[in-house]
A and B are shown apart, each in its own frame.
Chain A
Amino acid sequence: MIDKRVESCAAAVADISHGATVMIGGFGEAGSPLELIHALVDRGARDLTIVSNNTGSGRVGLAALIAPGRVAKMICSYPRSANSTVFPELYRSGRIALELVPQGTLAERIRAGGAGIPAFYTPSAVGTILADGKESRVFDGREHILEHAIRADFALVRADRADRYGNLTYSKTARNFGPIMCTAADCSIVQVRSISEPGEMDAECVITPGIFVQRVVHVANPQQESRLVREGVAYP
């Protein structure tokens, strides 16, 4: 029998070790798997490479993972936001590496990683410093640069509903990177608000088929990152 449900966030991240590459879903707080990230903070894994669009805000979620120096390298498109001080401090003092990637290239590198495509050519960033040192080739008279797929050991994703097969639906713009990250990690770990019985989710409406998901954790009442930041909460 297939049952991907895991009883806690702690159990779901228990095998994420030092040096792992971890994709973390979310665009700002929308879709950020806060409870799974906090479980990873508790787990204590170091030297992580994190693939995520942003670098967190305040001192919760991704920012709480970065703050104690657990993250060696960030691969992201937009490492600053209104309430983001943790990443800038570490970056300016040379204690965290940054691979800056245009957002669409980041998404496509992840998609390619999940789809078995090792690299692809894109017109994005041609003629800019982010194209420096990259192979280029002209197609139909236009220059493109070669970008490589990204894969990860783990993905931490937040969805809305799941069944025991790992089929997922999402909530509004909290979908963002979730579906592609689930495809691109050896082990995709998803926190969901509710668990459905197999068959309850309309197969026409499933966004991520369960084959892309390895673990599902039920977090019925996830915390809201912006509220924690407003209240000045620092995790742990």
Chain B
Amino acid sequence: MNQDLPPVGWSRDDMARLAAIDIADGSYVNLGIGIPELVAAHVPPSREVVFHTENGLIGVGPPPPAGFEDPELINAGKKPVTALPGAAYFHHADSFAMIRGGHLDVSVLGAMQVSEKGDLANWSTGEPDAIPAVGGAMDLVAGVKTVVVLTEHTTKSGEPKLLRRCTFPLTGRGVVRRVYTNLAVVELSPDGFAALALAPGLSLEEVRRWTGAPLSDARPEHVRNGE
């Protein structure tokens, strides 16, 4: 199959910056493994955002300098982190009480697929020989107040990840509020996907071409007219 590929659009750091700008001062936030981990570095300096990792730390700090890694101080991706002043450690049942009990404000997750109803698939391709591994994703989408997704707009081979219906096993139904991709910021409206912003130089038609479901235009009028 000789399929062409979507434009590059925003970098992963750009995507993380856009997601970070939408996180309010004083929020408690859980970052998923992968691109979502980049969000922590892009919180505007005027805001205080507290990061939670489900393996038992709230007040997660940046990675330690080389040589200062502690195998007993890691994040959910099992990478070394630091604990900021004001941090706290806790056991797993308390950690998921924070998650399921609605105490966290924002969950930033990666995705394999997102449907226009806000369904999320991010844990299994459902292939017979795949090793199913779910981790904490189903608890996060069930309990955190606002769930947003940070992901490339398509797979590596150019298949859309924003779809009418997910074909992979679901993580949760109707849980995603907003999606930050390399091509667009997309809101989950009652009518489906709605573009809030497009990566520089891209037209709505171009982004629609790489989207597997209808995409309405929710950009501010002055931006739309300037297209």
Contacts and interface: CB of A to CB of B under 8 A. Distances in A.
B143 A123 contact: yes
Interface string A5-42: 00000000000000000000001111100000000000
A112 B133 CA distance: 23
B136 A103 contact: yes
Contacts, number: 143
A125 B134 CA distance: 10
Contacts of B78: 27-30, 81-82
A77 B134 contact: yes
A166 B9 CA distance: 57
Contacts of A30: 55, 71-74, 78
A180 B91 contact: yes
B138 A102 contact: yes
Chain B contact residues, majority secondary structure: loop
A129 B129 CA distance: 17
Contact of A128 (B72, B73, B91, B138): B138
A19 B72 CA distance: 31
B133 A102 contact: no
A105 B134 CA distance: 11
Contact of B134 (A102, A108, A224): A102
Interface string A212-227: 0000000000001110
A104 interface: yes
Interface string B31-68: 00000000000000000000001111100000000000
B133 A79 contact: yes
Contacts of B134: 77-78, 100-103, 130
A173 B89 contact: yes
B54 to A, nearest CB: 7
A107 B97 CA distance: 10
B133 A176 contact: no
B169 A129 contact: yes
B100 A122 contact: yes
Interface string B75-97: 00010000100000111110110
A170 B137 CA distance: 26
A128 B143 CA distance: 15
Contacts of A185: none
Given A53-B92, A98-B132, A225-B71, 11 more contacts: A27-B78, A30-B55, A82-B78, A103-B134, A108-B100, A124-B139, A126-B142, A128-B138, A173-B72, A177-B91, A177-B92
